[in-house]
């Protein structure tokens, strides 16, 4: 779902123009950024169940728990608050939280309520990765919609500023190409 996260960030950027794109791109993968050192420290793990796209059960019991996601999203939003203000901080926190919502769709039931799966409560995940083509289609739609929405918004901003819009088109094309490349690499791995 990495490409889908980036597509969603581009969608948000088309509406929240004062929020920096780099901040939205960071926010949308923030849970995974924090996951990496925990994975390297063997605090969070992955379990292969088959080769290819969606072939892992991800035991991200801290970063991808509901409570962990809320804490990490609030912390990231708080980092943006002093320099960028309340609205941008809130958008960043919500985009970070959107990561969990998008992952809910594709993950198998491997996302706990509490960090460390404390209390052994039920795990969440709808399991779209059990149907790789459908999951890839959802990601493709997110990437395409994000690129189109970003392009339309950037074109509008360029027109208002009296610019020709070629940079807006190039930016949207780069977002689409990056998203599709990530999706291709993920799907063919």
Each residue's pLDDT tens digit, 69-107: 999 999 999 999 999 999 999 999 999 999 999 999 999
Which secondary structure element, helix H or strand E, spans residue 122, and what is its range? Answer: none
pTM of the model: 0.85
- Give yes or no for a contact between 5 and 182, defined as CB atoms under 8 angstroms apart: no
Q: What is the pLDDT of residue 50?
A: 80
| pLDDT tier at 133, thresholds 50, 70, 90 | confident
C-alpha span between 172 and 156 (Å, rounded): 13
Does residue 134 carry a pLDDT above 70?
Answer: yes
Does residue 150 carry a pLDDT above 90?
Answer: no
For the CA atoms of 166, 17, 100, 62, what is the dihedral angle to 10 degrees? 110
Q: What is the average pLDDT score of the chain?
A: 88
C-alpha span between 117 and 65 (Å, rounded): 8
Q: Can you read off the two tokens belonging to residue 12?
A: 């948000």
108: which DSSP letter?
Answer: -
């Amino acid at each position: 779902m990495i490409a889908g996260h980036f597509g969603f960030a581009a969608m948000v950027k088309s509406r929240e123009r004062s929020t920096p794109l780099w901040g939205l791109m960071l926010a949308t993968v923030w849970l995974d950024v924090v996951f990496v050192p925990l994975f390297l420290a063997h605090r969070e793990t992955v379990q292969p169940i088959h080769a290819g796209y969606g072939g892992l059960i991800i035991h991200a019991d801290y970063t991808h728990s509901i409570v962990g996601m809320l804490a990490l999203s609030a912390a990231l939003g708080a980092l943006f608050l002093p320099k960028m203000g309340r609205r941008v901080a809130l958008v960043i926190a919500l985009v970070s939280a959107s990561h969990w919502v998008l992952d809910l769709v594709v993950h198998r039931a491997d996302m706990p309520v509490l960090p460390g799966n404390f209390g052994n409560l039920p795990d969440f995940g709808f399991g779209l990765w059990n149907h790789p083509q459908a999951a890839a289609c959802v990601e493709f739609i997110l990437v395409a919609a994000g690129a189109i929405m970003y392009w339309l918004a950037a074109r509008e901003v360029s027109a208002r500023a009296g610019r020709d819009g070629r940079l807006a088109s190039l930016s949207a094309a780069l977002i689409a190409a990056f998203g599709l490349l990530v999706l291709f690499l993920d799907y063919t791995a």
